Amino acid sequence: MNELILCDAVTTIGHVKNETKSPNNPALSYLLRLRSKKSQKTMRSCLTSVSSMFGCNEPLHFDWSSLTRDMIQVVLQRLLNEHKAPNTINLILCAIKGVAEEARASRLMDADNYHDVKNIKRIRGARISRGRMLECAEIKQLFTFLDIQTTGAAIRDAALISLMFGCGLRRSEVADLDIDHIDFENNKIDIHGKGNKERINYMPPETAKRMCLWVDSVRGDHSGPLFTRIRKNDDVTSDRLTTNGIGFIIKQLVTKLSLKSFTPHDLRRSYASLLLENGEDILTVKEALGHASVVTTQQYDKRSIKRLEAAALNFSFGKKHERDKVVDGIRTYETV
């Protein structure tokens, strides 16, 4: 099974038997219960990293029921020795526990062993969250360059980036948008996000203007994917633009404009940080981003980095400070 997703249609029992040594495979059962293709890909990678430690590069051929608490502790210690981030290690542990749960449900793992695995504690610790907030000058440079272009690709890219920056969409959400998901009359977007969650957001005027230009002058208002591939010579296709395609567009713009490198997700981080900077409460930002927890939203706030930088610039080793001192009821000041 080179690709994680067995097939887009319902997987048949025959297909399952061909792909695995056993039709009752706990790793396969665990992956199939994950509804997101991205989640399946991520967790399959986690399982591969574990099975490869025991000499099996194919997680679907590994005997997961043989894993004991001690073996898993060895896996965790090895990951710590490799300086893996706590979140990465805990994600792998989550995958192991998920497979153990399926193994127990299939009676391939005894109850005592399952509970020993289930009770393994997560690794404590944290790393600085990745990504950055784009400066206002960078955003201005991007749109100054794109808005003066007359090609279909430039008009599409301006609308796409404006939507990601102005509404905080993930690139997978942008790629999945159909034109029917946009209410141009009310500047409203119907977004289908992670975990099969649907949410509503609204386009700022600048975003709505660029979106209308893309639809009216290039794409057309026919049904189908909102953003499509454009071949050379401005040949607009009806093929949906992929998440990889969106990443490629960003990389090209970074190179052309000699910008500091940023990712599509940095546009989402910038959106969250600017909302907070403009005084929006964090619950509103959480809803706009489609997060399940405020804790996740807090990780998108990149303003603190700028504040630390400003504090360092204002700090001086040679500057003298005064402190007040009360002697016999009289307040005086002394330099320290």
In-domain check, residue 231: yes
* 56 and 28 within one domain: yes
Q: For residue range 142-177, list pLDDT tens digits in order.
A: 999 999 999 999 999 999 999 999 999 999 999 999
Which one-letter amino acid corresponds to residue 138?
A: E
Q: Looking at the predicted structure, is the pLDDT value of residue 16 above 50? A: no
Q: Is residue 19 part of a domain?
A: yes
Candidates 44, 286, 300, 302; catalytic one: 300
Q: Which of 156, 268, 286, 302 is catalytic?
A: 268
Residues 154 and 104 in one domain: no
* Candidate list 15, 132, 192, 194, residue with the active-site label: 194
Domain count within the chain: 2
Q: What is the pLDDT of residues 219-273, one digit of tens each?
A: 999 999 999 999 988 899 999 999 999 999 999 999 999 999 999 999 999 999 9
Residues 156 and 107 both lie in one domain: no
Domain presence at residue 322: no
> How far is Cα 48 from Cα 162, in angstroms, rounded to an integer?
38
Instruction: State yes or no: is 171 an active-site residue.
Output: no
pLDDT of residue 4: 44
| Final residue in a domain of this structure, among 83, 118, 153 | 118
Is the pLDDT score of 38 beyond 90?
Answer: no
- 170 flagged as catalytic: yes
Q: Given 171, 269, 291, 302, which residue is catalytic?
A: 291
* Catalytic annotation present for 38: no
**115 an active-site residue?**
no
Residue among 72, 289, 88, 271 nearest 200 (CA) = 289
pLDDT at 2 over 80: no
Same domain, 79 and 37: yes
pTM: 0.71
CA atoms within 13 A on the CB side of 276: 23
Q: Which of 170, 171, 210, 302 is catalytic?
A: 170
In-domain check, residue 332: no
- Domain boundaries, position 253: 136-309
- Pick from 62, 85, 118: which residue ends a domain? 118
Bridge partner residues of 190 (DSSP): 200
pLDDT at 322: 53
Question: Is 231 part of the annotated catalytic residue set?
Answer: no
Residue 62 lies in a domain: yes
Q: Is 194 labeled as catalytic in the residue annotation?
A: yes
Residue 314 lies in a domain: no
Query: Which residues touch 191 (CB under 8 Å, ≥6 apart)?
Result: 169, 173, 177, 181, 198, 199, 200, 201, 290
pLDDT digits (tens, 9 = 90+) for 80-115: 999 999 989 999 999 999 999 999 999 999 999 999
One domain for residues 114 and 158 = no
